[in-house]
Amino acid sequence: MGSFGLDIGTYNIVTAKRLEENKIAYKTEINAFIELRMENPAMFNMMRQTEIRPGQKVPLIEFEEENVAYCMGEAAVAVAYAMPQVELKRPMKDGCLNPKEQNAQQIMSLMIHGLIEGAKPGDTVFYSVPANAINEETDADYHAKVIEAIIKAAEDEQGQPLQLKTFPINEGLALVYAELAEKSWTGIGISFGAGMVNICYAIFGAPVFEFSLVNSGDWIDKMASKAIGEETTAFVNQEKLKTDLTVDSQELVQRAIKSQYEIMIGKTVYGIKKGLESNANKKARSNSPIDIVISGGTSSPNGFPEMFESILTQSKLPIQVGRVIRPKDPLYSVARGCLVAAENAI
């Protein structure tokens, strides 16, 4: 029986599968889509023939009876960027399914089934889920149930149910599994996604506490855009690619971005401190320094680990902190951790 890891993020969906020679194949796509009315058959036919990458046509799904087509993933982002009148839609918001997108769940189903293509009957799939947020009302349990139903509905090429074995795993815990094997899977995993920051403190692979914060990458874009008077987040989203959090830039947009990062990291570290203090006499004793893994797309800017360590030091956590680790591939870590869990479950 095979194994899959599946990281379902607000901005990226990533699968991980072990290959021979201990390599891992990651399949990734952007979790977004656009809706196109089918009034212009010529446009659709041309779009259908276009390749988004060598050997792969634009992912376009048509529902003739509803007179609508959906373009998904990176292609959708490219079209929305070029055509401002087309709205880029996101099936997930703040780490969970977006209730305002009526078709979000069916689109997510198409995406996930496309990404786990190649799964064999009876394979084991561990999929990432957030913890409920402590700063906003979320329904992580419902989100996890819907994702489970989507995976279980997957079929093979002949239309036969794959009957995949599915298990949810907290996103922060998946990071611990991915990066802290040499520390007996003991440490803190923090996934800074687009919609949420997910945190899990684990000892010997078992979660001690886990929580999430609904203020991450998308929130930084939104707040920094407000601060500089931009109506949309597109400009800030692009500027973030140039951000260096160790530099005191003279550019207003970079200062705004840096300021929001400080706030986000500050809230995250505060939450961890509270979690450790409330568990100090119950479960969270440790005589060894605790390593912290920081990952996720929002942790990508230059200088992020330095800013995080600086705020961590100032906060005086009630534990001895070991290393702060940022994986070399922060986009794939959660999926890899899910895969590790799936392989250990067989």
Partner 1 sequence: MPQLIKPQSTKVVTKDGECHVSISLELTINVKSDGKTVSIVGSEVEEAKPNWTIQDFSPRKKVKFGKTIEE
227 binds partner 1 (CB under 8 A): no
To partner 1, the closest distance from the beta carbon of 107 in angstroms equals: 10
Q: Is the dihedral of CA 148, 189, 237, 24 positive or negative?
A: negative
Given the rule CB under 8 A, which of 108-116, 176-184, 269-277, 312-320 is the region that contacts partner 1?
108-116
- Which of 35, 44, 47, 60 binds partner 1 (CB under 8 A)? It is 60
H helical segments located in the chain = 41-49, 74-82, 104-115, 140-152, 171-179, 217-227, 234-239, 252-279, 304-315, 333-345
- Region label for 69, one of left (φ > 0), alpha (ψ between -120 and 50) or beta (otherwise): beta
- Contact code string over 150-169 relative to partner 1, x by CB under 8 A: x--xxx--------------
State the distance between the two ends of the chain, measured CA to CA, in whole angstroms: 8
Supply the minimum distance, in Å, between the C-beta of residue 315 and partner 1: 26
CA-closest candidate to residue 216, choices 134, 299, 275 = 299
| H helix or E strand, kind and range, residue 321 | strand 321-325
Contact present, 215 and 262 (Cβ < 8 Å): no
Q: By CB under 8 A, is residue 115 in contact with partner 1?
A: yes
Binding to partner 1 by CB under 8 A, coded x per residue (else -) over 304-333, reads -------------------------x--x-
Specify the stretch interacting with partner 1 by CB under 8 A; choose among 1-9, 72-80, 184-192, 240-248: 72-80
Angstrom distance (rounded) from CA 142 to CA 105: 12
Please give the residue ranges that form the binding site for partner 1 (CB under 8 A).
Answer: 13, 15, 19, 23-29, 53, 56-57, 59-61, 63, 72-74, 105-106, 109-111, 113-115, 117, 136-137, 142, 145-146, 149-150, 153-155, 329, 332
